[in-house]
Amino acid sequence: MRTTTIAVIHGPNLRLLGRREVHVYGDTTLAQIDERLAASAAELDVSVETFQSNHEGAILDHIEGLAERVQGILINPGALTHTSIALRDALAGVALPVVEVHLSNTAARERFRRHSYVAGVAVGVVAGFGARSYLLGLRALVDHLRDPG
């Protein structure tokens, strides 16, 4: 049995990946991202459990219960990245290592995307590599759990 489980959280509008602003986010669907994450997790000998919601409160409720069953959180908070102090507080409260990921390079886009409320409570951020950001983020999180440095 795998002893490390990572919670993967996809925030608002990410269910539309593959159809949504393809020139920005690429044509990979969320289901394909989840499949690739599961394959990477198996290679890394960890488990992943994934969750998507368009509702901020549902994401906060989900995070609240994670400490008992996972060792780290990989999150693409979508637009909540730039708006939600409540999400930041939920992540800080659960006190698990967090890696923030974005498909797009948010630093190179509109000014309002340059600030992240989540980054301050994350171990690190991976952005700009399309669907691969998730896989790089998973690898970085597992590496951090094995050797926090």
Options 28, 71, 76, 84; binder of ligand DQA; rule CB under 6 A:
76
Taking a C-beta distance cutoff of 8 angstroms, is the pair 51, 8 a contact?
A: yes
Q: How far is the CB of 83 from ligand DQA (least distance, A)?
A: 9
Catalytic-residue membership of 117 = no
The active-site residue, picked from 10, 55, 62, 102, is: 102
Q: How far is the CB of 1 from ligand DQA (least distance, A)?
A: 32
Tokens representing 116 are 């992240």
Options 42, 79, 107, 108; binder of ligand DQA; rule CB under 6 A:
79
Catalytic-residue membership of 134 = no
Q: How far is the CB of 3 from ligand DQA (least distance, A)?
A: 29
Q: How far is the CB of 40 from ligand DQA (least distance, A)?
A: 18
Neighbours of 113 (CB within 10 A): 17
Nearer to ligand DQA, 94 or 103 (CB): 103
Instruction: Write out the binding residues for ligand DQA, residues 8-27 only, by CB under 6 A.
Output: 13
Long-range contacts for 122-129 (Cβ within 8 Å, ≥24 apart)?
A: 122/91, 122/98, 123/97, 123/98, 123/99, 124/99, 124/100, 125/99, 125/100, 125/101, 126/99, 126/100, 126/101, 126/102, 127/100, 127/101, 127/102, 127/103, 128/102, 128/103, 128/104, 129/103
Which residues of the chain form contacts with ligand DQA (CB under 6 A)?
13, 76, 78-79, 81, 102-104, 106, 113
State the catalytic residues: 25, 102
